[in-house]
Amino acid sequence: MAERNVARSTDRFEKKRDAILDASTVILNTQGVKGLTLGVAAAAVGLSTTSVTYYFKRKDDLAAACLMRGIDWLTQAAETALAEKTPTERLRKLLELYLERVRQGAIGAAPPLPVLSDIRALNNPRRAEVFDAFMKLFRKVRNLFDTPELAWLGRGRRTARTHMLLEQLFWAGAWLPKYDAEDYDRICDRMFDILTGGLAVAGAEWAPAPAPLAELAAPQSGELGLETFLLAATRLINSRGYKGASVDKISAELNVTKGSFYHHHDAKDDLVVACFDRTFEVMRRVQRLAMGLPGDQWSKLSSAAAALAEYQLSEYGPLLRTSALSALPEAMRDEQVAHSNRVSDRFASMISDGIAEGSIRPVDPFIAAQMLNATLNAGAELAFWVPGVTQKAAPSVFARPMLMGIFAR
């Protein structure tokens, strides 16, 4: 009898804990770590804050548990995929498992997977614990490339392609809601086709035009140019997250007073928006320059992608990572996602024109453009994942696998 009572008590504890995590993951995905408080989580499941502290003592404990549950699922999916014989079969299985899991969340049959972009917003020791789990996941996915037929791929290039692949999974959450859940199988087919076949037609060469990086950066003005200010803020937000990029740290980075910060922006959210505006303007500038180049659409698209990959590691870069979106209020976040979609839609137009003229493979232009956009944005962290990678090597190491195929030489 005592054992049955203990079992029922344990079962009730786990069910209530899971309910708190389910509701908290929804909050985390829409409001970020800073918006996931114990009080908000308690209200979402009809409990008092004191009751939630029985399961999670602090806010960071709750947020970390949400993130760890997602990482654990992804790690298991990667292990299942690695049981397949070839890299192509492994990639296919990973995509199938991920898209099916996202579909289950979309129809309410499973809790949503957490957005993993806000790990830096956690405090230690939870941040270190979650990041360590993510690194184990990353290494697991990188084993997808660990086969004799891909022995020519060096460790750095395998790492870069793993970073690109995971970014496709994570960014898909931003554009998948455009589709009905019943279409996810078809989307899986199209993502797989783009990743394995790239966008180039047979016989196409990787020969992007030289990138005029100086023309892409905004001109300086004043004693402390806005471009200098936004670049320093972008670098801090990318490396330390929204929470870690304090006004004090931004000011110290530029050796100016707080007053200089408030001269440019009234609040920190406004600063993030300005950094996104700068990012999207650079991307639009690259697109305009590429569209004016001679040659076919493949040449123009590959030149745009190469220029942005190189820009990320140049003295003018990086661009702001989309991970900063989770820190913004919902209205601001939706506006910036709309800006990103407009940049992506222009890539889609270039891809459509290339398909029509025969210089780009017949692919889904919308999905291909979103995947290209995700790749170029993720280039901001390439130097972290592949230490020592040079600015000039970035296009070949990172952009080329997206455009020519993830398993292509």
**CB count in 10 Å sphere of residue 251:** 18
- Is 208 within a domain? no
254 close to 232: Cβ distance less than 8 angstroms: yes
User: Given pLDDT bands bounded at 50, 70 and 90, which one contains residue 330?
Assistant: confident
pLDDT at 220: 53
70 and 23, same structural domain? yes
Which of 127-141, 164-178, 230-244 holds the top average pLDDT? 127-141
The conformation of residue 255, written as its DSSP 8-state character, comes to: T
110 and 63, same structural domain? yes
pLDDT at 404: 97
Domain containing 27: what range? 2-197
Verdict on whether the full-model pTM lies above 0.75: yes
303 close to 206: Cβ distance less than 8 angstroms: no
- Is 202 within a domain? no
- What DSSP string runs through 2-23? HHHHHHHHHHHHHHHHHHHHHH
**Total count of residues recorded for the chain:** 409
* Residue range 194-221, pLDDT digits in tens: 999 999 999 999 999 998 887 777 665 5
**Coil/strand/helix, residue 200:** strand
* Residue range 58-94, pLDDT digits in tens: 999 999 999 999 999 999 999 999 999 999 999 999 9
251 and 183, same structural domain? no
* Residue range 48-58, pLDDT digits in tens: 999 999 999 99
133 and 29, same structural domain? yes
Q: Report CA 359 to chain centroid distance, whole Å.
A: 28
243 and 371, same structural domain? yes
156 and 46, same structural domain? yes
- Mean pLDDT rounded to a whole number for the chain: 89
Q: Which of these, 164, 63, 71, lies nearest to 113 by C-alpha position?
A: 71
Average pLDDT of the residues in 133-155: 96
Which of 10-14, 35-39, 97-101 holds the top average pLDDT? 97-101
Q: Where is the domain boundary, 170, 197, 224?
A: 197
- Is 370 within a domain? yes
pLDDT at 214: 76
246 and 112, same structural domain? no
267 and 368, same structural domain? yes
The conformation of residue 395, written as its DSSP 8-state character, comes to: I
Burial track 82-107 (b if 16+ CB lie within 10 A, e otherwise): eeeeebbebbbbbbbbbbebbbbbbe
Q: Where is the domain boundary, 163, 197, 231?
A: 197
156 and 14, same structural domain? yes
Q: Where is the domain boundary, 143, 165, 197?
A: 197
221 and 192, same structural domain? no
pLDDT at 331: 81
Q: Which CATH number goes with the domain that contains 104?
A: 1.10.357.10
- Is 161 within a domain? yes
pLDDT at 10: 75
pLDDT at 231: 86
187 and 218, same structural domain? no
Quote the tokens at residue 147.
């086969």
Interatomic CA distance for residues 81 and 226, integer angstroms = 47
Number of domains in the chain: 2
* Residue range 266-301, pLDDT digits in tens: 667 778 888 889 999 999 999 999 999 999 999 999
User: Given pLDDT bands bounded at 50, 70 and 90, which one contains residue 44?
Assistant: very high
Quote the tokens at residue 24.
């908290």
pLDDT at 11: 79
268 and 157, same structural domain? no
